A and B are shown apart, each in its own frame.
Chain A
Amino acid sequence: MIRFDHVFKRYPNGREALSDLSLEIAAGEIVFVTGHSGAGKSSLLKLISLIERPSRGQLIVNGQNVAGIGRRKVPAYRRQIGMVFQDHKLLYDRTTFDNVALPLVIAGVSTKEIGKRVRAALDQVGLLGREQSVPLELSTGEQQRVGIARAVVSKPAILIADEPTGNLDPDLSLEVMKIFRRFSEVGVTVLVASHDIYLLEHFPVRRVRLEGGRIVATSQSPAGEKLLDPRKLLDHGAQP
């Protein structure tokens, strides 16, 4: 689904954020990218979302070589990727409903269909009934879940999240991660950048550890072992 092939990223100021990075992520896989701040986690995600472009090497996302995607094609490309941000990046003058509906409005989905899909997405993150709240009436955890609902409302094949739990306490972090897991279980490729040790301990999934722009360690999730009992997920996951 996502393949980095000897990718380098050097910024105009000369800093090399990624060097000779090769990585392959299969469809439906959930992967943690870890490492200290400045290790290249954000750069890696920015390359996938085409906020930045590789200086060298090849990056293939969902069968497309990003080098071949011109400026005008970037919006269409981004619509197949859901993005979650540490600072949520919500629009504070609009209701929860309008925030979540934005990707669908951009895609030109009909009003009726938007209503259905926005409610479905809010239901998935446990915020059904809060459609008319504005972001400032919501807690940080709730705002983050609105951000997640917006990221998945158009059913993207890929979901990337940059420090999605950075501002959340451990309980809320776990809850957010459980939501991500559920998407991965229905076939969405999920890539999470995080340095949250607590979270990493509780979610034994595949990890890619970056240091100085290079992969220093990868660990596969223990094969055949059910990481979390889905029933347990439901018990804990749906708390408002």
Chain B
Amino acid sequence: MTAWLLRHLQTAIGSLGRLAQHKLATTLTILVIGIALALPACLHLLVTNAQVATGNWNRAVDLTVFLKRPTSAEEARRTTERIRQRRDVAEAQLILADEALKEFRRDSGFGEAIDALNENPLPHTIVVRPAATYTNAANLESLATDVRALPSVEAVQLDTAWVNRLNAILEAFQRGLLLAGGILGLGVMVIVGNTIRLDIQNRRDEIEVTKLVGGSDAFVRRPFLYNGFWYGLGGAVTAWLITLVAIAVLREPIGRLAGLYGSAFELGALDPKASALLVLSGVALGWLGSYIAATRHLRRIEPS
């Protein structure tokens, strides 16, 4: 078992050494794979960051609750308290009709026209801020329905349409991400497969000799599989570095943009899980591409 492990380790290192001998070709191959993997990785970044950013904006999605007229100030306070007790509500602020009218008179410049009215036309208003964890469209909708059902509530204003639209856009992006990932993954396999094919052609003599002295198909294939493994790993690490560079370049302007919208949003890098997935899929694609190519082409090389 240890001999077997040692043999694999030797093959892996031998393959790495061989790749290092052809620096330019290896670098180019790894760069191409890296770019191909970086595209879906960057798309993933776009989607996750957009989700975080809209999460921030969702917090600004307040419900405005208008109470029936006439409702006593006492009743309005009770209703506000009931709403505030809810698990999905972070804060509920009551604006009494009189205060609202005062504020309106002061800010609007229609003071005289308002004075001409016999009674206050404004209702009591409650501004409800949903709890941060309940800010998706479905939860907001159910909160609004519940509040609307309260006896003294006249109307609830909630604009979920744009949240829905944004989520739909993100969903489309996510689909696109899967599609791009699939296509580019296939591309990585083709790149690796073609590189391995050329490699096999260059080492034809060696393969023949190895088969002549009794090397099995698996033995002959092994170094090529390790080549694919290294290509995939190198490509994935390159892709990861590309995302780092992209983030570093975009962080400052995006932060400024978010600042202009009054948001503290900051561009995030790939989390450990996504990074691990990137490296794993790179290795898997490299290995699979070389496996298919090596199995196909090595079979044709027989000593004569």
A residues whose Cβ falls under 8 Å from a Cβ of B: 49, 51, 72, 75-79, 83, 89-91, 93, 102-103, 105-108, 110-111, 150
Contacts and interface: CB of A to CB of B under 8 A. Distances in A.
Given A51-B302, A75-B214, A111 B6 contact: yes
Interface residues of B, number: 20
Contact of B212 (A76, A83, A110): A83
B213 A150 contact: yes
Contact of B216 (A75, A111, A150): A75
B78 interface: no
Given A91-B206, A108-B7, A79 B214 contact: yes
B14 to A, nearest CB: 10
A72 B216 CA distance: 8
A102 B220 CA distance: 12
B152 interface: no
B303 interface: yes
Nearest to A151: B213
Interface in B198-226: 205-206, 208-217, 219
Contact of B213 (A72, A83, A110, A111): A83
A49 B214 contact: no
A227 B37 CA distance: 70
Could you tell me the dominant secondary structure of chain B's interface residues? helix
B211 A75 contact: yes
Contacts of A107: 214
Contact of A89 (B4, B212, B217): B212
B304 interface: yes
Contacts of B304: 51
B3 interface: yes
A78 B214 contact: yes
Nearest to A76: B214
Contacts of A110: 3
Given A105-B7, A106-B219, A78 B212 contact: yes
28 contacts: A49-B212, A51-B212, A51-B303, A72-B216, A75-B214, A75-B215, A75-B216, A75-B217, A78-B211, A78-B212, A79-B213, A79-B214, A89-B209, A91-B205, A102-B209, A102-B213, A103-B214, A105-B7, A106-B210, A106-B213, A106-B214, A106-B215, A106-B216, A106-B219, A108-B3, A108-B4, A108-B7, A111-B3
Contacts of B302: 51
